[in-house]
Amino acid sequence: MSRPLRSFYPLLLGSLILAGLLTAPTGHSQSVRFQGELGPGDSKLGRYFDTYPLQLIAGERIVASLSSYDFDACLLLESPEGGEIENDDYGEGSDARIDALVETSGSWKVKVSSYEEGEQGEYLLTVVRERLRPLQSHAGKLDEQDMVSVKGEYYDSYSVILEQNQRVVISMISDQFDPFLVVKPPRGRRIVNDDYEGESESRIDFIAESGGRYEVFATSYAGGERGEYSLRILLGQRMNVRQIDGYLDPDDMELEEHGYCEMHPLHLEEGQHVILEMTSEQLDTLLTADGPGGFYAENDDYNDQTYISRLEVFAPADGEYIITTAAYQAGVEGSYTLKIYSFGISGINLPNTRQLAPVRVPGSGRLASLRRASLQVAALGAYH
């Protein structure tokens, strides 16, 4: 890879990211991808690193992903005050990923580096910015003045009125106890989360199944814990949704080491942001996505719940993506629902978008489920 003016590249990219993301419409998301290289000519404090400046606004969400075949990726996000969030080895691979809710407007920095000193090589950096609207913000405290659950946890309650298909992100942070969030919808299952990428934050990222009043309970993981916390409720836009109802049985193909499956073609444009949810009351769900350039991601037991699998996709390229809905266990049949949530006015009804329908293949052939390089999907938040 040619490396002229290396020290200028990160600053130039930062300016391009800033210019592009500031034009993103409210409630929408936009992604920028950049291929860079760590090595001589970069800043070095034991490790080489490149720095990309970003101008961010409080209430926004930023997702930065770093992958490399040449070194063990390490990613840092620095706030205007100088505080840093660091990630190495996100998930099961050597990629790094940071998903943060911006609390302070100002100049932030994304820093690309390696886990070990002196490592160098090429990398791919993806930065996604999603605008969210602050709805409620609370500074609370769990103590003897609060209500107590049957298991002995203190809790505070809040409420919010939501529209159907409204995107919502709720974050609870505390450095004095292990926070735990519960959302009770007007109907259906409760939504819970503990330890979202760390013990200091609990975060619920969900899409309202129905309109009405949602109750939010801020509590602790263990009974009797006390301390101060901050709670933020942020709204995204109302999502476009496409629902597919299917049934898995012996007439379908099978995933190797798993159960019956059906495939759904979906055309996406580069940078398009979609959320995929597979739910079932009869199956332990498994959801995968294949796309151009070896793109692959999968999710099973979203937030340790067997009835739902969830993927958040930022399409790395234009083209045909294959969404596979499957049973995790072999030989089990049952019904399921696949929902495809999309951002923007056009949603998934873009030009060249193919009609979505289950692909049913007679017989019981075996379809290998292979993990592909460079995971580009985040399984985010909690939906129960």
Q: Where are the domains of the chain?
A: 6-130, 133-238, 240-378
User: What is the model's pLDDT at position 203?
Assistant: 92
Distance CA 14, CA 9 (A): 8
C-alpha distances in angstroms, 328 versus 259, 303, 355?
6, 15, 26
User: What is the model's pLDDT at position 93?
Assistant: 59
User: What is the model's pLDDT at position 17?
Assistant: 45
- How confident is the model over 200-223, as pLDDT tens digits? 899 999 999 999 999 999 999 999
**CATH of 6-130 among 2.60.120.380, 1.10.1040.50, 2.60.40.650, 3.90.1410.10:** 2.60.120.380
Give the class (CATH, top level) of 133-238: mainly beta
User: What is the model's pLDDT at position 89?
Assistant: 65
Complete DSSP assignment for 59-109: T-EEEEEEE-SSS-EEEEEE-TTS-EEEEES-TTSS-EEEEEE--S-EEEE
**pLDDT (average), residues 311-340:** 93
Distance CA 259, CA 298 (A): 15
User: What is the model's pLDDT at position 28?
Assistant: 62
**pLDDT (average), residues 48-57:** 90
Instruction: Specify the DSSP class assigned to residue 42.
Output: B
- Cβ atoms of 66 and 96 closer than 8 Å: yes
- Cβ atoms of 269 and 348 closer than 8 Å: no
User: What is the model's pLDDT at position 271?
Assistant: 81
Categorize the per-residue pLDDT at 382 as very low, low, confident or very high, splitting at 50, 70 and 90.
Answer: very low
Give the class (CATH, top level) of 240-378: mainly beta
Of 228-237, 251-260, 267-276, 347-356, where does mean pLDDT reach its minimum? Answer: 347-356
- How confident is the model over 124-134, as pLDDT tens digits? 898 988 889 99
Categorize the per-residue pLDDT at 196 as very low, low, confident or very high, splitting at 50, 70 and 90.
Answer: confident
Distance CA 129, CA 9 (A): 20
Whether this prediction's pTM lies above 0.85 is answered by: no
Nearest-CA neighbor of 24 among 380, 315, 344? 344
